[in-house]
């Protein structure tokens, strides 16, 4: 059994600022001839099932640009890349607030372990927060759609392995499966931005 961890990057443009959300999935990639093909299978599966729910949580000022995926354990691998059709934007209405403030999704591990993961969604509409508090509309949209982002995925090809989304620790190369994905009560502040390659 060749279980490895793959990193999936969801790349966006948020009001002119590049942003990237990272998720990690573990699966048996032994049936794929290359790590790049396994990474592309992960991208295709995630984009098919989770792109629409993801866009329901981000503002119209956020444009989805591309997906990238690569194996990060077992020697790594070549990167798979999938561009997204132009004009694919979020559905939350209203002008964007500062690009550094965003809603946060908290990932809780199975068996209520100590580890927590988080995802800072790119952008926040001014109609989705007031006085530092998220609107119930956005909170409900996040709580309804966030579980889709981290759901198990059966990949096409390579024997049809199931990819499990995990909270990944780079130091130990270990991952803990995610049991729940919920909206944080507090807004996040993104202080560091990655530049596009």
What would the two tokens of residue 122 be?
């790119």
**Which residues, 6+ apart, have CB-to-CB distance to 7 below 8 Å?**
22, 23, 24, 69, 70, 71, 72, 168
Structure tokens at 172: 């130990």
**Using one digit for the tens of pLDDT, what is the confidence trace for 143-164?**
999 999 999 999 999 999 999 9
pLDDT band at 197 (very low <50, low <70, confident <90, very high): very low
Of 99, 104, 98, 93, give the one whose Cα is nearest residue 13.
Answer: 99
Give the tens place of pLDDT for each residue, 77-132: 799 999 999 999 999 998 777 667 899 999 999 887 778 899 999 989 889 988 88
What does pTM read for this prediction?
A: 0.92
Parse the chain into domains and list their residue ranges. 3-189
Of the candidates 68, 66, 70, the residue with the CA atom closest to the CA atom of residue 32: 70
């Amino acid at each position: 059994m060749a279980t490895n961890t793959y990193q999936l990057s969801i790349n966006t443009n948020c009001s002119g600022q590049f942003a990237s959300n990272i998720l990690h999935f573990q699966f048996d990639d032994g049936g794929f001839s290359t790590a790049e093909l396994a990474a592309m299978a992960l991208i295709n599966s995630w984009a098919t099932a989770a792109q629409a729910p993801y866009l329901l949580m981000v503002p119209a000022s956020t444009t989805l640009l591309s997906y990238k995926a690569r194996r990060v354990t077992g020697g790594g691998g070549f990167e798979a890349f999938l561009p997204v059709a132009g004009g694919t934007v979020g559905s939350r209405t209203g002008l964007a607030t500062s690009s550094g403030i965003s809603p946060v999704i908290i990932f809780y591990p199975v068996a209520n372990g100590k580890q927590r993961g988080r995802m800072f969604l790119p952008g926040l509409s001014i109609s989705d927060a007031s006085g530092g508090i998220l609107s119930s509309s956005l909170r409900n949209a996040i709580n309804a759609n966030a579980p889709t982002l981290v759901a198990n995925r059966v990949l096409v090809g390579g024997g049809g392995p199931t990819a499990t989304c995990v909270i990944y620790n780079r130091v130990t190369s270990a991952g803990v499966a995610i049991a729940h994905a919920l909206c944080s009560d507090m807004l996040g502040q993104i202080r560091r931005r990655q530049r596009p390659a």
